Structure 1
Amino acid sequence: MNIKTKKYLIDTFKVAIPSIIEHVANVIVGFADTIMVATLGTVATAAVGINSTITWLVMAFSTLFAVGTTVQVAQSIGANNYKRAERAAINGLSSGLILFSSLFILLFTLSGYIPKFLGADVEILQGAVTYLRIWTLAIIPMLLGRVASSILRGIGNTKIPMVVAFFVNILNIIGNFFLIYKTRLINIPLTNINIKIWGAGLGVTGAAISTSLSNALGGFIMIYLLFNGSQVIKLELKDLFKFEKVLQKHIFKTGAPATGQDLVTNFGQVLYQKMVASLGTIQIAAHHLATTAESISYMPASGFSVAATTLVAQSLGAGKKEDAEGLGRVCFLLSLLAGTFSGIMLYVFPRQLMSLFSGDLAVIEEGIGALRIIAFIQPVFSATIVLTGVLRGAGDTKIPLYAAIGGMWFVRLISAYIFINIFHLGLKGAWLGMLMDLGSRFLIVFYRYNKKDWLNAEVVVDD
């Protein structure tokens, strides 16, 4: 291993490890959150799970500014133009505040109708509506916090998002503990002592309140840290809504295809969820729990993707194409290794993973079949996440968008429909469609990466 490769590895891990730890924290708490709700039964699990597609869809809108602003900030930092980085950050947050406020009004107004549209039956409808309505209350600070977190990563600070994520997730678990369950006696292990613990007994409603409050508080903290003068870029509230046409153009040029990628995927997920919902409550619950279990598989890839975007953007901003290429290659190879390991874990231990969330044997068996199918695609799925990060760092976000359109709308939805309705493969058929989608996306994104046109992308850091 030569000296440059060692440096690339050190730089990559320096940025990636805090991001990976952050994702680990999110996944672990996601597990805990799901386990707590699952103790209420399959109906409660399905009531929360039916909303997952719409929550992903809403989160996708933050990608416009999370990616577009971050690339501009990171490229400016690479060129040592800190003033431009500050202006880019302010422009992104200002535009985000307007968009996210509009989203809040729209979603809160429609929250009573969306779960039914997604396929929720009478058994789970009321719980699903309540969960979505409460979750919606946190949209503005949560999405702004996501943009602020991405800006911090763009300046190379991945430790603060990690620490805040830990705080938010612990708060979420504590909130669940007191709000979901009724007042009960808890035995202290290895003793005969029982302690009476107060509980609100709100069930799904309690889970929604806890999630909303913790996410909202996390968002406020992220925003505060950008404005309190503690970072290398210093933002001021008086500069909000001072829009600059040129910067807005650069932000939207990079961010629009990136958010388009997420929106295309998540609009497709809505139809995909309706296909799964048509299979029944057990399949809805198994799909939700298997998706949660699978999230452990791409934790490393998510961290390496953050590193790829940040380091590639900073290298290109500094005019160092060789470093951008080397860092992108290291992140890609690391993602293949991590994905291979994750795939083996999903295939060998699916029962153990599903059993963490549910004691319903029917739900567990459905989830095992889904996880063993998706295990085979994990190496290239992880690689796709990281290569998308490489291309985003160069501002090349159109190809991942095209890959998402082709994969979701022309591969996943069509093949899943065939597997479910013609071959009658149930939930396994839906996940076979997902496997084919992820494989096709990798082929498209890898082709673009391998051509290396992204190294010659236009980088503007002095307007």
Structure 2
Amino acid sequence: MKKNNIFEQVLNVSIPVISEMTLYTFMSVFDLMMIGNYGGNKALSAVGLSNSVIYTSCNIFVSVGFSVSVTSLVARSVGSRDYNKAEQYATCGFFLSDLVALIICLIMFKFARTILYTAGARKEILQVGIKFIKITCIAVFFKMNTEIINSVLRGYGNTKTPFIISIVISSLKIALDFMLIFGYGFKEYGIIGAAIASVLSQSIGFLGAFSYIILKSKIRFRIKHMILFNINRAKEILALFVPAAIEEGLYSVSKLVTGFMIMTGGSIAFASDEIANTVESIALVPSMAFGVATTAIVGMRFGERNYKKARNSVKACNLCALAISLIFSIIFIFMPNVLVSLFVNKGEKQVVFISGLCLAIAAIEQPFIAISTIYEAGLDGMGDTKSPCFVTLISSWFIRVPLIYYFICKLKYPVTYVWWITAFQWIIDCILIYLVFKNRFRKLSS
């Protein structure tokens, strides 16, 4: 395959994913802006802590765990032209993920108080957080089901439909936020209004996604595969799911734990970190999108047993993601305060100052995150979800957590040290994942 054709394929698959993730990211950004302007740093802390808890579980089990395994297996089946097997993976994966999503949401609803109290929430932050989680977990149930449908669609290269679904969800969410948080045309619900808006937008998005995969998708959910449940397909899904979920769990839980540590420094420190993370999430969108494309393309190339095309596709995705990440690094260095000031009112000068420092430090880690994301996605596409798990174990739990505990909890250093440590973590993660990927392809070539 010619080099320009590789880039063309990468961009055809990646651009709708970038657009989709950009919409979701800006949806979260605008959501946080409205909440911050409505209730200040305490509102940001309550929502930020609640979202950290509930979305960590969502990411571990479905957004990454099942989604990665289903995309990889569907892609390899499509690459080998076995569409019946692809539909078996799709149907089985949806059934398993739906069951897990239901269990997660029930646990979150029942133990909301205990979870938030353990996380360090107290008084007003605790009371608001409990109400917010109990409503938001309903939205997250629909969100997780939509994501597993999207993983099936991406598995055969359809990234445009998930993008269209994201337009519907994001548009509804932002419009409903304005109406329900501030009371434009409706009763003013404040922070709870943001949670209600999530439920309405995510449920409508799910109905659209489910209708499409039942009626129009190239790979569909089939009732016969649900009735004649294929245990072997379930085992194959779980074989990839377990290490992928553990890997995401190691990373997400480490972030959650460090969030709890930061919370000990007060609402200003936590809100500052939350704002910097939200702004940085915009920069991570292209890398994540090219990562999704990498998993799908590599999976299809492995189904064809064309390892050279798979490797070249990874290189093309990496080059694109790296170039964009460097642009964001420059932006973070030269205008951090301008970006973070959008999230709070004029009276929160300390929050703006600290968030700006965190974001400037984040400029260091952007290229390393991009490289690590793409090569990890390449490993996922070829069915190796175990190696990234071990790399994340080292970078998150042997580097990030101990160092943050020492500097933040023991020495009581400012929250900016969290970002210096995180940058160091990503440098190590990047080096290790690249060496694993290079070694894996060396074995395939020999």
Shorter-normalised TM range: over 0.9
Alignment of 1:185-264 (within 5 A): 197-228=184-215, 230-240=216-226, 242-264=228-250
Native 8 Å contact 1:342 1:378 kept in 2: yes
CA contact (8 A) 2:54 2:108 kept: no
Task: Provide the C-alpha distance between the structure 2 equivalents of 1:153 and 1:83, rounded to a whole number of angstroms.
Answer: 17
One-letter identity of the residue aligned with 2:193 = G
1:57 corresponds to 2:44: no
CA shift for structure 1 position 329 = 1.2
In the alignment, the residues of structure 2 paired with residue 235 and residue 147 of structure 1 have an alpha-carbon distance, to the nearest angstrom, of 11
| 1:269 CA drift (Å) | 2.1
Runs of 4+ in 1 over 6 A off after TM superposition: none
Say if 2:122 is the partner of 1:121. yes
Could you tell which deviates more after superposition, 56-65 or 347-356?
56-65
Q: Report the CA distance shift for 1:78/1:302 in structure 2 as closer, same or farther (over 3 A).
A: same
Q: Secondary structure at the match of 2:186?
A: strand
Q: Report the Cα distance in structure 1 between the residues aligned to 2:159 and 2:443, rounded to whole angstroms.
A: 24
Q: Letter of the 1:144 partner, please give it.
A: N
Q: 2-side partners of 1:70 and 1:98: how far apart? A: 18
1:399 aligns with 2:392: no
Structure 2 residue runs without a partner (length 5+): none
Between 231-240 and 343-352, the greater mean CA deviation after superposition: 231-240
State the AA in 1 paired with 2:123.
V
For 1:84-131, what per-residue CA distance to the aligned partner results, in whole angstroms no more than 9, with x for missing partners? 111110110111122122212211110122111111121311111111
Contact 1:86/1:235 (<8 A) preserved: yes
Q: CA deviation at 1:422?
A: 4.7
State the match for 1:366 in structure 2: 354
SS of residue matched to 2:2: helix
Give deviations 1:238-267, integer Å, cap 9, x for gaps: 532532122112211222111111111122
The residue identity in structure 2 corresponding to 1:401 is: C
Select the residue among 417, 427, 442 that pairs with 1:439.
427
Aligned to 1:452, what secondary structure does the other structure show? helix
Partner residue in 2 for 1:15: 13
Count of residue pairs brought into register by the alignment: 440
- 1:189 is aligned to none
Give the 3-state SS of the residue equivalent to 1:113 in structure 2: helix
- Name the residue aligned to 2:414: 426
Which deviates more from structure 2 when the two are superposed, residues 330-339 or residues 390-399? Answer: 330-339
Q: 1:5 aligned to 3, 6, 12, which one?
A: 3
Q: Does the 8 A contact of 1:354 with 1:368 survive in 2? A: yes
Alignment of 1:26 with 2:24, yes or no, is yes
Further displaced range: 73-82 or 41-50: 41-50
The Cα shift of 1:397 comes to 1.0
Alpha-carbon offset, residue 10 of structure 1:
0.3
* Distance across 1 between alignment mates of 2:220 and 2:289: 26
Distance in 2, matches of 1:78 and 1:176, equals 42
After superposition, the Cα gap between the structure-2 partners of 1:137 and 1:152, relative to the gap in structure 1 and judged at 3 Å, is same
In the alignment, does 2:406 pair up with 1:387?
no
1:101 aligns with 2:102: yes
- The match for 2:76 is 75
Pairwise CA distance, 1:64: 2.4
Deviates more, 1:241-250 or 1:144-153: 241-250
Cα distance between partner residues in 2 of 1:356 and 1:242: 53
Q: In 2, are the aligned partners of 1:22 and 1:166 still within 8 Å (CA)?
A: yes
Counterparts of 1:443 and 1:319 in 2: how far apart (Å)?
27
CA distance in 2, matches of 1:384, 1:454: 18
RMSD, aligned CA: 1.6
Query: 1:188 maps to what in 2?
Result: none
3-state DSSP of counterpart to 1:51:
helix
1:449 aligned onto 2:437 = yes
Q: 2:344 and 2:91 mapped to 1: Cα distance?
A: 45
How far does residue 358 in structure 1 lie from its aligned partner after superposition? 1.2
Task: Determine helix, strand or coil for the equivalent of 2:364.
Answer: helix
- Cα distance in 2, alignment partners of residues 315 and 91 from structure 1: 23
d(CA) in 2 for partners of 1:287, 1:322: 42
Q: Find the counterpart in structure 1 of residue 337 from structure 2.
A: 351
1:67 touches 1:258 (CA, 8 Å); kept in 2?
yes
Q: Do the aligned residues in 1 keep the contact of 2:132 with 2:192 (CA within 8 Å)?
A: yes
Partner of 1:282: 268
Is the Cα–Cα contact under 8 Å of residues 46 and 126 in structure 2 kept in the other structure? yes
TM-score relative to the length of structure 1: 0.92
Report Cα offsets for 1:155-199 as digits up to 9, x if no partner. 1000011111111011001111111113xxxxxxxxxxxxxx423
Q: 2: CA distance between counterparts of 1:409 and 1:223? A: 38
Shift of 1:25: 0.9
Change (3 A) 1:241 1:406: farther
Relative to structure 1, is the Cα distance of residues 142 and 222 closer, same or farther in structure 2, using a 3 angstrom cutoff?
A: same
Which consecutive unaligned segments of at least 5 residues does structure 1 have? 183-196, 458-463
Displacement after TM superposition at 1:366 (Å): 1.1
Partner of 2:160: 159
8 Å CA contact retained: 1:68, 1:256: no
Go from structure 1 to structure 2 and tell me whether the alpha carbon gap of 1:322 and 1:355 turns closer, same or farther (over 3 Å shift). Answer: same
More displaced stretch, 9-18 vs 335-344: 335-344
Paired letter, 2:212: L
2:50 alignment partner AA: N
TM-score, normalising length from structure 2? 0.95
Deviation (angstroms), 1:294: 0.5
Match of 2:400 in 1: 412
Report the 3-state secondary structure (helix = DSSP H, G, I; strand = E; otherwise coil) of the residue aligned with 2:121: coil
Q: Counterpart of 1:48 in structure 2: which amino acid? A: V
Counterpart amino acid of 1:54? V
Instruction: Describe the SS at the equivalent of 1:396.
Output: coil
In structure 2, what is the Cα distance between the partners aligned to 1:408 and 1:51?
A: 22
d(CA) in 2 for partners of 1:172, 1:426: 35
Contact 1:177-1:199 within 8 A present in 2 as well: no
**What SS does structure 1 have at the residue aligned with 2:185?**
strand
Question: Does the Cα contact within 8 Å between 1:301 and 1:386 map onto a contact in 2?
Answer: yes
Task: Give the distance between the partners of 2:250 and 2:12, measured in 1 at CA.
Answer: 32
Describe the superposition over 1:181-219 as per-residue Cα deviations: whole angstroms up to 9, x where unpaired. 13xxxxxxxxxxxxxx42321111101111122123222
Per the alignment, residue 170 of structure 1 pairs with 171
| Match among 282, 299, 302 for residue 296 of structure 1 | 282
SS in 1 for 2:383: coil
Q: Is the 8 A contact 1:312 1:393 kept in 2?
A: yes
1-structure distance, mates of 2:197, 2:158: 28
